[in-house]
Amino acid sequence: MVIFIVRKIPPVTFSSYFMTDASIMEGYLAVCLCVTALISAPHTTSAKELSITTIKEDPYTMSRGSELEGYCIDLISKLSQKLGFTYKVHLVKDQRYGARDASGSWSGMIGEVMRGEADLAVAPLTVTATREQVVDMTTPFMQTGLSFLLRKDMAHEELNLGFLSPFSMEMWIGVLVAFLLTGICVFLVARISPREWEPESEGQSFTLVHSFWYITGALTLQGAGPHPKSVSGRLVSAVWWVFAVLLLVFYFANFSHMQHADNKHVSIKNFEDLSHQDVIKYGTVEGGSSMSFFKNSNNPVFRRIYQHMERGNTFVATIEEGITRAQEGNFAFIGEAVSLDLAAGRYCTLTRSEELVAMRAYAIAAPVDSPLVKNLTVAILQLSEGGELTYLRDKWWPNNCREGQDAHSANALGLQNLLGLFLLLGLGLALGLLIALLELLYKARSLAKDGKKSCCSALSHRVSSAFQRRGRRARPRRSQTRARPELQLLWIRVVMDAIKLKMESKKANYVGEVSNQKRHGYGKYVYPNSFFLYEGEWSMGRKHGLGKLMMRDGSFYEGEFICGEIEGSGLRHWAKTGDSYSGEFKQGHGSLTDSDGHAYLGSFHRDKRHGEGRIEYSNGDQYEGSWVLDQKQGQGVLRCVDGSLYDA
């Protein structure tokens, strides 16, 4: 504070001029000092060391050994360089941002600033009206809003080729390369090995085309003759068969898993979609500003979201816990967009909703009437105008995900998952070629010994004969009678499959009435796989009438059958999920109750909710509206337990 002192100066006479010159100079010096103080006052802060509190949260404040780093640490450093103050940073004791309890006391960083334990709070601290009443906030250094984070496969439906989804692009390229190398290897082994080709013979079974056709038959588990006769050829074919069988096992296992996951798929794009479903749970940080927004909101959608979180107790203690639960699936974490963008950039299976609500800002908190607020506000605006805040944002919010990477590619098997299988194939091909070369060397040595010539000349003649034979001799024309043995083998295979099916059917157990050697009347039938058991009425070998179909896992259906199919009225229970359905099947009216206690009563079409219906939730709320193919359609009415009505 600068104080001006005005003093009355007596008239100056000629005699006293030289006597007052020193006093006048002292007055000028005092005025200069005052002006200097006024100019420099806005650009300096208190000389004491400032105590700054913050909270550990990526990427704002993180530990690196004994030191701290992050967006907020860099921001403090740049502010200190502009304003010329020294500081000491410490983490808030209770790891809380700041909320008022029932007694009126404040916790977290806001509490430390109010009690004088810290001069500043620099963190992702949201500016709210309640906080502005107890502390002073600077101009925001970052703008954000509320959104939610969840797995990509639950966020939106994606167009993809379903039969290609079990394997990644790298995996399909690896399979193609393995296919080409194996076909060439089979052809080379057949040409090199003496057991597969002799110069005196007119035909060659394993041409290049037949080699690829042979390994293609192995991929379909059918086979295509003739088969290799040499040890090297049989080794290569055996390794390829093992590779093909295991590859198909992994393919169909992952394909089944992904199809099962797609059956539970729920498309969620915004907060309204999130509030109108019960499959995916959702929550936010307990005691934070996000929870306060939903709690105090008058919007029916946001009020319903808060009631769901409170009823299910889905709040989380920290942001890290919310992100972890979102990665595990079946959970959407609600938070501020900047924190969610960081998680989506690090974990490629996650995505943030494009919808932003409740726009808010992050600012620095200081005690009420603190002289630091004005200077910090000016410095933050200068950093923003100079692009330094944008630089810090790009530095601490990296994106490690490739464009176009989706949930299906994350779940698809890659080369790293089946690397051992490819190594096994490569080792088998190399060993087969080595054995074929040894067979060729042994044959060349025998020919050289019998013909009394050098081994090298015999080997050279043998190799040239093997690879030049096709060019010197015309390929024999295929006669019509040549296809007859193949047709005979095909018919034999069909007959053997029929006999095998007949033998398996004899393993089934049926006890009951028969007519014309067919199940007819009432009887009990145990299927060959022992997984299904049916007891009820039969008609000409098919389930027809009333009966009960039981499964080994405890699931069952009891009701009407028509021509072997479940149709009409009945009761279906799923043991694994605990869901039960009672009513008409394929189409009609019925009641579906799931394990959470939610019950749907209304119309069905092709085993899906279709038409008018009503859902009674386990908490007593009711929703009544229209459905189209298991999805809500049009306007509906939500009746809450407290009697309130909402249009949904």
Backbone angles phi, psi at 320, to 5 degrees: -60, -40
For 599-619, the pLDDT digits (tens) are 888 887 766 787 888 888 877
Closest CA to 197 of 479, 513, 463: 463
Locate all alpha helices (DSSP H) within 452-506, ordered by sequence: 455-472, 483-505
Closest CA to 141 of 392, 336, 398: 392
pLDDT band at 202 (very low <50, low <70, confident <90, very high): very low
- Report the b/e string of 594-624 with b at 16+ CB within 10 A: beeebbbbbbbeeeebbeebbbbbeeebebb
pLDDT of residue 270: 84
Lowest-confidence range among 170-179, 253-262, 303-312, 390-399? 253-262
Task: Examine the pLDDT at 48 and tell me if it is beyond 80.
Answer: no
pLDDT band at 468 (very low <50, low <70, confident <90, very high): low
pLDDT of residue 47: 56
Task: Examine the pLDDT at 575 and tell me if it is beyond 70.
Answer: yes
pLDDT of residue 15: 41
pLDDT of residue 471: 41
Place of tokens 């994106």: 399
Report the residue count for the chain.
648
Q: What angle do CA 309, 313, 318 make, to 5 degrees?
A: 90
Greater confidence (540 vs 110) lies with: 110
Locate all alpha helices (DSSP H) within 41-146, ordered by sequence: 71-83, 108-114, 129-132
- Range list of β-strands (E), 97-189: 120-121, 136-137, 142-151
Task: Examine the pLDDT at 327 and tell me if it is beyond 80.
Answer: yes
Closest CA to 397 of 340, 352, 453: 340
pLDDT band at 223 (very low <50, low <70, confident <90, very high): low
pLDDT band at 42 (very low <50, low <70, confident <90, very high): very low
Enumerate residues 6+ apart whose C-beta is below 8 A from 615. Answer: 598, 599, 600, 622, 623, 624
The enclosing H or E element of 426 equals: helix 419-451
Task: Examine the pLDDT at 366 and tell me if it is beyond 90.
Answer: yes
Task: Examine the pLDDT at 364 and tell me if it is beyond 90.
Answer: yes
For 402-431, the pLDDT digits (tens) are 554 444 445 677 777 888 888 988 898 899
- Is the dihedral angle over the CA atoms 532, 537, 542, 545 positive or is it negative? negative
Task: Examine the pLDDT at 11 and tell me if it is beyond 60.
Answer: no
For 536-568, the pLDDT digits (tens) are 998 888 888 889 888 888 888 888 888 888 888
Is the separation of the CB atoms in 168 and 413 below 8 Å? yes
Backbone angles phi, psi at 413, to 5 degrees: -75, 135
Lowest-confidence range among 194-198, 518-522, 550-554, 635-639? 194-198
Average pLDDT of the segment spanning 143-171: 74
pLDDT of residue 19: 41
Establish whether the linkage from the previous residue to 226 is cis, with ω within 30° of 0.
yes
| Per-residue tokens: 235 | 């080794």
The enclosing H or E element of 371 equals: none
Three-state secondary-structure class, residue 183: helix
- Is the dihedral angle over the CA atoms 197, 202, 205, 207 positive or is it negative? positive
pLDDT of residue 121: 93
User: CA–CA separation, 580 vs 583, rounded Å?
Assistant: 10
The enclosing H or E element of 322 equals: helix 319-328
pLDDT of residue 16: 43
- Range list of β-strands (E), 55-161: 62-64, 67-69, 87-91, 120-121, 136-137, 142-151
User: CA–CA separation, 205 vs 192, rounded Å?
Assistant: 13
Task: Examine the pLDDT at 524 and tell me if it is beyond 50.
Answer: yes
Task: Examine the pLDDT at 41 and tell me if it is beyond 50.
Answer: no
Task: Examine the pLDDT at 94 and tell me if it is beyond 70.
Answer: yes
In the predicted model, what is the mean pLDDT of the chain? 77
pLDDT of residue 128: 86
- Is the dihedral angle over the CA atoms 158, 160, 162, 166 positive or is it negative? negative
Is the separation of the CB atoms in 647 and 632 below 8 Å? no
pLDDT band at 76 (very low <50, low <70, confident <90, very high): very high
pLDDT of residue 457: 65
User: CA–CA separation, 62 vs 135, rounded Å?
Assistant: 25
